[in-house]
Amino acid sequence: MSGTDKTTESSAQTQDIAKPKRKSFRMADEAAADCLFERLRLHQQRAPDSAEVARAITARINSRLTSHDKHVRQSTLDKLWNKQSGALQMLLAILENTRDTPTATYITSILREVLCLKQGKGKKCSVPTETSGIKKKETKKSGKENKVPPLNKKANNLARQQCSQHFISINGTQVVIRTMITTHAKRDGNVGTELMLQDLVWILASLAPRDPKFAMKVRMLGCVRTMHLILKGHFTDNKIIFPLLVIMKQLAKNKVCCMQIVKTGLCSVLLRVFDRWDRYEGRMRLKICAHILQTLQHLCNIKAGRRALCTKKHVQTLHRFCSQCPDEPEFDGLLARVCSVITLCLKHQALPVAVSSPASFNLNPILKGTNASWPCHEDEEEAANSDSKTVNSDLEDDGPDTDIDGIDEFPDMDFDEHELKSESVEESEKVLLQNNTKSGDSLQSTLWINPNERDLEDLKKYFIYFKEFGSYNKQIRLVKSRSNSRGSILEDFLFPQTSGNRGATSNLNLSLTTVLGNTDYENVLGPGQTSSFLQQHKIHESSSTTSWSSLKIHKDISKFTTFSSVYCTISTRVKSVIPFVKVAYPDMMGGHGLNHPEPLNKMERSACRMKLLSCVDRAINPEAYMNETVYDLDQLCSASANTDSSAQKSFSSESIGLTNTDEQEITKVNSYSSRLTFESRFESGNLRKAIQVGPREYELILMPDVNSTKRHQWFYFEVRNMQQGRPYIFNIVNCEKSDSQFNFGMKPVMYSVKEAVNGRPGWVRAGSDICYYRNSYHYANQKNNHNKCYLTVTFNIDFPHTNDVVYIAYHFPFTYSMMMTRIWQWSLQLPSGSYLRAEPLCYSLNSNEVPLLTVSAEDTPSNPIVDREIVFLTARVHPGESNASWVMDGTLGCLLGPSIAAAALRAKYVFKIVPMLNVEGVINGCHRCGLTNEDLNRRWCKPSPVLHPSIYHTKGLIEYLVRVWKKPPLVYCDYHGHSRKKNVFFYGCAGAESWCSNDRIVPDEPVKYLMLPALMHRISPAFALGSCSFRVERERESTARVTVWRHLGVTRSYTMEASFCGFDRGPFKGFHLNTHHLQSVGSDFCEALNGLNDTATNVDIQLTKDLNGNIVEINIKGADRDKDNDSEIAVDSEPGSGSDSVLKTDSDEDFD
What pLDDT is attached to residue 3? 54
What pLDDT is attached to residue 630? 93
Spatial neighbors of 470 by CB under 8 A, at least 6 apart, are 478, 866
Residue 1057 designated active-site:
yes
Positive/negative CA dihedral, 701, 704, 709, 713: negative
Q: Domain check: are 860 and 961 in the same one? A: yes
683, 849, 1057, 1113: which is the annotated catalytic residue? Answer: 1057
Cα 668 to Cα 805: distance, rounded to the nearest angstrom: 12
Q: Domain check: are 430 and 559 in the same one? A: yes
Q: Domain check: are 1036 and 1048 in the same one? A: yes
What pLDDT is attached to residue 521? 33
In a domain, 762, yes or no: no
Spatial neighbors of 668 by CB under 8 A, at least 6 apart, are 803
Residues 763, 593: contact at Cβ < 8 Å?
yes
Domains identified in the chain, total number: 3
Q: Domain check: are 41 and 108 in the same one? A: yes
Residues 1031, 1025: contact at Cβ < 8 Å?
no
What pLDDT is attached to residue 900? 92
* β strands within 456-615, DSSP E: 547-549, 575-576
| 523 C-beta neighbours (distance < 10 Å), count | 14
- Of 211, 233, 261, the position where a domain reaches its end is 211
What pLDDT is attached to residue 62? 82
- Of 188, 211, 234, the position where a domain reaches its end is 211
The range of the structural domain enclosing residue 250 comes to 214-323
What pLDDT is attached to residue 1109? 57
In a domain, 941, yes or no: yes
In a domain, 330, yes or no: no
Q: Domain check: are 153 and 236 in the same one? A: no
Q: Domain check: are 236 and 204 in the same one? A: no
How many angstroms separate the Cα of 454 from the Cα of each of 451, 851, 942, 1048, 1058? 9, 22, 10, 12, 33
Q: Domain check: are 194 and 297 in the same one? A: no
Residues of the chain with pLDDT under 70: 1-34, 43-50, 118-152, 188-189, 369-452, 472, 482-547, 640-655, 669-672, 781-787, 1094-1152
Residues 634, 573: contact at Cβ < 8 Å?
no
In a domain, 400, yes or no: yes
Q: Domain check: are 380 and 519 in the same one? A: yes
| 3-class SS of residue 1111 | strand
pTM for the predicted model, two decimal places: 0.76
Q: Domain check: are 899 and 1041 in the same one? A: yes
In a domain, 349, yes or no: no
Cα 960 to Cα 695: distance, rounded to the nearest angstrom: 61
What pLDDT is attached to residue 637? 84
What pLDDT is attached to residue 531? 31
Spatial neighbors of 615 by CB under 8 A, at least 6 apart, are 339, 343, 731, 773, 775, 776, 792
Cα 685 to Cα 666: distance, rounded to the nearest angstrom: 21
What pLDDT is attached to residue 490? 43
In a domain, 903, yes or no: yes
Q: Domain check: are 878 and 999 in the same one? A: yes
Q: Domain check: are 933 and 1048 in the same one? A: yes
What pLDDT is attached to residue 528? 36
Residues 728, 675: contact at Cβ < 8 Å?
no
Q: Domain check: are 230 and 206 in the same one? A: no
Look up the CATH number of the domain holding residue 857.
Answer: 3.40.630.10
Cα 938 to Cα 920: distance, rounded to the nearest angstrom: 17
What pLDDT is attached to residue 94? 83
Cα 668 to Cα 803: distance, rounded to the nearest angstrom: 8
In a domain, 884, yes or no: yes
Cα 1147 to Cα 1152: distance, rounded to the nearest angstrom: 16
- Of 211, 236, 256, the position where a domain reaches its end is 211
In a domain, 303, yes or no: yes
Residues 619, 778: contact at Cβ < 8 Å?
no
Phi, psi at 887, each rounded to 5°: -65, -40
Assign residue 1066 a region: left if phi > 0, alpha if psi is -120 to 50, beta otherwise?
left
User: Would you say how long the chain is, in residues?
Assistant: 1152
What pLDDT is attached to residue 782? 55
Contacts of 1002-1007 spanning 24+ positions with Cβ under 8 A: 1005/1051
3-class SS shares of the chain: helix, strand, coil, % to 5: 50, 15, 40
What pLDDT is attached to residue 1075? 94
What pLDDT is attached to residue 679? 93
